[in-house]
Amino acid sequence: MITGIGLDIVELSRIHRLDARSPKFRERVLTESELAEYGQLTAARKVEFLAGRFAAKEAFSKANGTGIGGACSFQDIEIRKDAKGKPSIYFRNTETGMVSITHSKDFAAAQVLLQTNY
């Protein structure tokens, strides 16, 4: 059964500004393994990657009905990719639903769908 849907869009310029200021923003948003992936990327891909994960985590928090906060932090949510690059979404290490991420020159967006018995 589908239990939630969430959608989010972010401006790449905003994420770039936050990320350029200090490592704190990415360290708050990305988990340790996501930070390791981020570290391998070119400067332009870093912004896309971080923006896409930020959008996916906000979209998850909407599908979950909690928003980001005490009940659901950025660190509780992780996006993992399979060998072909397809992303999956995990909440506290359990796969909980489906995620799709997109970016253009100016924006990143993500959609999350949650299901019971996923």
Q: Which tokens sit at 29?
A: 């948003």
> Nearest-CB residue to ligand COA?
67
Residues of this chain that interact with ligand COA (CB under 6 A) are: 8, 25, 58, 61-62, 65-69
Cβ atoms of residues 51 and 104 within 8 Å: no
Q: Does residue 16 have an active-site annotation?
A: no
CB of 63 to ligand COA, least distance (A): 7
Q: Does residue 105 have an active-site annotation?
A: no
CB of 9 to ligand COA, least distance (A): 7
8 is in an annotated binding site: yes
Q: Give the strands of the sheet with 77-81, arranged side by side.
A: 2-11, 107-115, 94-103, 87-91, 77-81
Cβ atoms of residues 110 and 55 within 8 Å: yes
Q: Which is nearer to ligand COA, 8 or 78 (CB)?
A: 8
Write down the catalytic residue from 62, 81, 84, 105: 62
Which residue is it, tokens 């659901």? 72
CB of 84 to ligand COA, least distance (A): 29
Which residue is it, tokens 């906060």? 69
Quote the strand ranges of the chain, DSSP E: 2-11, 77-81, 87-91, 94-103, 107-115
- Which residues are catalytically annotated? 62, 103
Residue list for the binding site: 8, 58
